[in-house]
Amino acid sequence: MAKHTITLIPGDGIGPEVAAAVVRIIEAAGVEVAWETHYAGAQALEKFGDTLPAELLASIKRNKVALKGPITTPVGKGFTSVNVGLRKTLDLYANLRPVRALPNVPSRYPELDLVVVRENTEDLYSGIEHVVVPGVVESIKIITEKASTRIARYALEYARREGRKKVTAIHKANIMKLSDGLFLECFYKVAKDFPEIEADDKIVDNACMQLVMRPEQFDIMLLENLYGDIVSDLCAGLIGGLGLVPGANIGELGAVFEAVHGSAPDIAGQGVANPTALLQSGLLMLRHLGERDAAQKIEQAMLKVFTEGKVRTRDIGGTAKTSEFAEAIIAAF
Ligand code: NAI
């Protein structure tokens, strides 16, 4: 019997192409996986009448881990995002985005290596909005002690597990004294249990300026939902864009690892997509599963291929196919 059973959602567009490459690399590294493949989004709607079929959710709840390719969200057809659906159904409260520059990829900060941890369930994204009187709308920001405490604990435990030195909470508690004040208070309370990790904080506007001028001062950044959404893309931009960075949504009921880019309909079916983002998400997944040696082996091989710069996909100036890039990584083990 395989050591791990993982739910695989290849997705659509370039999803199946990059997913196939990542599955190949993980298996070639010697990790024994039984993959349970499921459809989601438009494909699932056509086959099963539901964008998030019950079997898919049951599979993730059973396996507690999924690797997911991008899924097209049709515009204007009233089908809600599968990503939001997964996040809500499985209570995936922590969004993790490590941001690290890759060798030979144009980047403003080639040495950058930081991690963004974003609270995924509340804040202004609770979607509680109403019209007070015509011309006046109220949108409510919810911050709870429970969610703030668990995300702070997640960030600090991640720091401990990954040997990181510092967690910086980002907030606007000078203005939103109660809501962001509570978020900050919960962070410092939890930080007392992690004396070896430096805990500090910064106001979000200053943090953004510092990120552009001296991003190396950050190690792990901890943010509420809205600030986290914005700052995580800002950080991806510092190292060359969304195409290369991994992401994960993690909760008690399961963890979904995914690339943050979309289904790239403009290049789908051509075999030229870059699988790096999903591969890096796969590395996060392997570490989450305790397969640290295999993750290390794949990461070293991937960095070697980037450093040599001979096998590059089209998006970063090369001519290699998705499968050739995967082959090069396997050959570099
Ligand atoms: P996109 O990320 O799919 O594409 C933007 C540009 O980046 C395109 O030129 C594309 O060719 C390129 N690109 C993206 N990933 C690449 C890769 N791995 N290798 C090489 N080139 C790559 O963004 P877009 O066009 O805004 O969205 C397309 C669809 O994807 C939409 O339906 C959107 O809703 C969905 N989407 C899904 C996400 C998910 O499932 N996590 C995330 C973002 C968008």
Q: What six digits make up the tokens of 71? A: 């899924």
Ligand 1: residue of 261, 274, 278 to mutate (most ligand atoms within 8 A of CB) is 261
Whether 73 lines ligand 1, by a CB cut-off of 6 Å, is: yes
Query: Once rounded to an integer, what is the mean pLDDT over residues 166-193?
Result: 98
- Which residues belong to the active site? 125, 172, 205, 229
Query: From the alpha carbon of 277, which atom of ligand 1 is closest?
Result: 18
Distance CA 139, CA 123 (A): 10
- Fold agreement (1-98+242-333, 113-238): yes
% pLDDT > 90, the chain: 85
User: Which pLDDT belongs to residue 75?
Assistant: 67
Name the residue at shortest CA distance from atom 26 of ligand 1: 262
d(CA 199, CA 216): 16
**Closest Cα to atom 18, ligand 1: which residue?**
274
CATH class of this structure's domain 1-98+242-333: alpha beta
| Model confidence at 33: pLDDT above 80 | yes
pLDDT, tens digit, 9 for 90 and up, residues 210-221: 999 999 999 999
Whether the CB of 83 sits within 6 Å of ligand 1: yes
Task: Check pocket membership of 312 for ligand 1, CB cut-off 6 A.
Answer: no
Pocket probe for ligand 1: among 84, 242, 263, the residue whose CB has the most ligand atoms within 8 Å is 263
pLDDT (tens digit per residue) in 287-308: 999 999 999 999 999 999 999 9
**H/E stretch holding 284:** helix 276-288
Report the atom number in ligand 1 closest to the C-alpha of 69: 40
pLDDT band, residue 126 (cuts 50/70/90): confident
What residue owns the CA closest to ligand 1's atom 5?
264
Beta bridge partners of 170: 202
Whole-prediction pTM: 0.93
- Confirm or reject: Cβ of 151 under 6 Å from ligand 1: no
Beta-bridge partner residues of 201: 169
Residue 258 alpha carbon, nearest atom of ligand 1 = 41
Q: What is the pLDDT of residue 276?
A: 96
pLDDT in tens, 56-109: 999 999 999 999 999 988 765 556 678 888 988 899 999 999 999 999 998 889
C-alpha to C-alpha distance for 186 and 245, rounded to whole angstroms? 29
The residues that bridge with 117 in the sheet, in sequence order, are: 96, 222
3-class SS shares of the chain: helix, strand, coil, % to 5: 45, 20, 35
Q: How far is the CA of 41 from the centre of ligand 1 (A)?
A: 15
Whether 241 is in the pocket of ligand 1, judged by its Cβ within 6 Å, is no
Alpha carbon of 277 to ligand 1 centroid (Å): 11
What rounded mean pLDDT belongs to the chain? 94
For residue 240, pLDDT over 90 is answered with no
**Where is average pLDDT lowest: 25-29, 78-82, 112-116?**
78-82
242 Cα to the center of ligand 1, angstroms: 9
Amino acid letter, 204? V
Burial class for 131, CB neighbours closer than 10 Å (0-12, 13-18, 19+): exposed
Q: How far is the CA of 306 from the centre of ligand 1 (A)?
A: 22
Atom of ligand 1 nearest to the CA of 259: 41
**Domain locations in the chain as residue ranges:** 1-98+242-333, 113-238
pLDDT of residue 214: 97
Spatial separation of the C-alpha atoms in residues 313 and 319, rounded to whole Å: 5
* Cα–ligand 1 centroid distance for 1 (angstroms): 36
140-162 average pLDDT score:
97
- Give, as one character, the DSSP assignment of residue 93: -
Superfamily of domain 113-238: Isopropylmalate Dehydrogenase (3.40.718.10)
CA of 66 relative to ligand 1 center, distance in Å: 20
